[in-house]
């Protein structure tokens, strides 16, 4: 069985510390392909929070990995962001492991999903 070939999609919003924890967990299995699907800010005060979460994801992926970013400029809301983000993902991929920013899987989760 080939390891770490199933793409991993991470759904993020504005909680950089949770994104950091998720990326730390993914670092253990080093997936070969990651999709970062991010919603945009609801109001002006959230711009920095959304940017920080995106930076945590982008900067935290330090291993050799294909990264695809699907970022919303404005807030689409949970339902629409998940739907549109996954539509984009599955227009290019036949399968994926999908995690939200507050899901921090154990080290054997990604290999189990393979």
Kindly give the confidence (pLDDT) of every residue in the chain, 114 residues in length, as a single tens digit, with 9 standing for 90 and above.
456 689 999 999 999 999 999 999 999 999 999 999 999 999 888 999 999 999 999 999 999 999 999 999 999 999 999 999 999 999 999 999 999 999 999 988 988 988
CATH of the domain at 40: 3.40.50
**Residue 59 domain-assigned?**
yes
**Residue 3 domain-assigned?**
no
Number of domains the chain is built from = 1
**Domain containing 89: what range?**
8-109
- Alpha-carbon distance of 112 to 20, in angstroms, equals 22
The model carries a pTM of 0.93
The per-residue DSSP string of 19-45 comes to HHHHHHHHHHH--SEEEEEEPPPSSGG
**Residue 114 domain-assigned?**
no
**Residue 67 domain-assigned?**
yes
> Which of 57, 44, 72 has the alpha carbon at shortest distance from 16?
57
**Residue 1 domain-assigned?**
no
């Amino acid at each position: 069985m080939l390891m770490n070939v199933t793409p991993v999609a991470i759904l993020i919003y504005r909680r950089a510390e949770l994104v950091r924890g998720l990326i730390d967990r993914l670092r253990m299995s080093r997936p070969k392909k990651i999709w970062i699907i991010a919603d945009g800010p609801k109001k002006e005060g959230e711009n920095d929070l959304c940017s920080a979460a995106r930076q945590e994801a982008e900067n935290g992926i330090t291993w050799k990995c294909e990264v695809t970013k699907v970022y919303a400029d404005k807030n689409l809301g949970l339902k629409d962001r998940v739907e549109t983000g996954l539509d984009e993902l599955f227009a290019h991929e036949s399968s994926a492991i999908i995690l939200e920013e507050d899901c921090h899987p154990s080290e054997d989760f990604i290999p189990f999903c393979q």
